[in-house]
Amino acid sequence: MAAFFDLDNTLVRGSSLYHFACEMVRKKVIPRREVIRFARQELQYVIRRSEPAGVAASATSRALALVAGRSEDAMQAVATAFVATKLPAMIMDDVLAEVRRFQFHGVPTWIVTASPIELASAIANELGMTGAVGTVSEISAGRYTGRLASPIAHGPDKMQLVSENAERHGLDLGASWAYSDSINDLPLLSCVGMPVVVNPNSQLLAIAKKNAWGVMETAKRVSPRTNLTRFQTPAAV
């Protein structure tokens, strides 16, 4: 068994890639004009909690072009420094509490996201999680080529990568949990035994109720406490 956590708008507020892009501007890794595009998409993503068709692919294409030719070690160093200083302000405390509860009971915890694996791994490491599944860029001689090494970890491809990860580590998805705010993650939510939707929009909430999935509303959204329905604690497994 394991617990899988979507990153954007689930474990952290908003788009992790947007926040990371802002940091790369401050570090003079990428030009400021690129963040304006991310900012527009960030606003829509926060409002809708889902991405229109093609947005993930277009954002990834631009991100790949921006890092092409750059050092893998340098990018990992920027990601690690960014997470160490900025993660506390981004984290969703109620969802982090769920991570901590699983960790207390010895259940492996994984981040699963379309964001770059360098960023996802840095966050997972900072939080003491088991690991991360994210979008992997092709690297040659220690530098990014500007191409993907595997499909974007989004939609059905995210579910496939999680399935492969589970097989590699001997994890039973039927006895596992998945947390996500996005309707794009229906394939992921559907492939585990205990799916939990986080601050769902009306469409995702309707699907969750129809399938008797867990529903989590975080404190900053509706109340000073977490409201989680149909949740079985790891201790009871």
- Please, which residues have CB within 8 angstroms of residue 75's CB and are 6 or more apart in sequence? 29, 67, 118, 144
Instruction: Please report which residue ranges of 105-236 form alpha helices under DSSP H.
Output: 117-126, 156-169, 186-190, 202-211
Per-residue pLDDT tens for 153-180?
Answer: 888 999 999 999 999 999 999 999 999 9
Residue 147 CB neighbour total at 10 angstroms: 11
Catalytic residue among 6, 94, 181, 185: 6
Known active-site residue 181 = no
CATH code linked to domain 3-236: 3.40.50.1000
Helices (H) and strands (E) in the chain, counts: 9, 9
48-97 pLDDT, tens digit per residue, is 555 554 445 556 666 676 788 888 998 888 899 999 999 999 999 999 99
The structure's pTM equals 0.83
6 tagged catalytic: yes
Residues 6+ apart with CB under 8 A from 207: 183, 186, 197, 213
Question: CB neighbours (10 Å) of residue 73?
Answer: 10
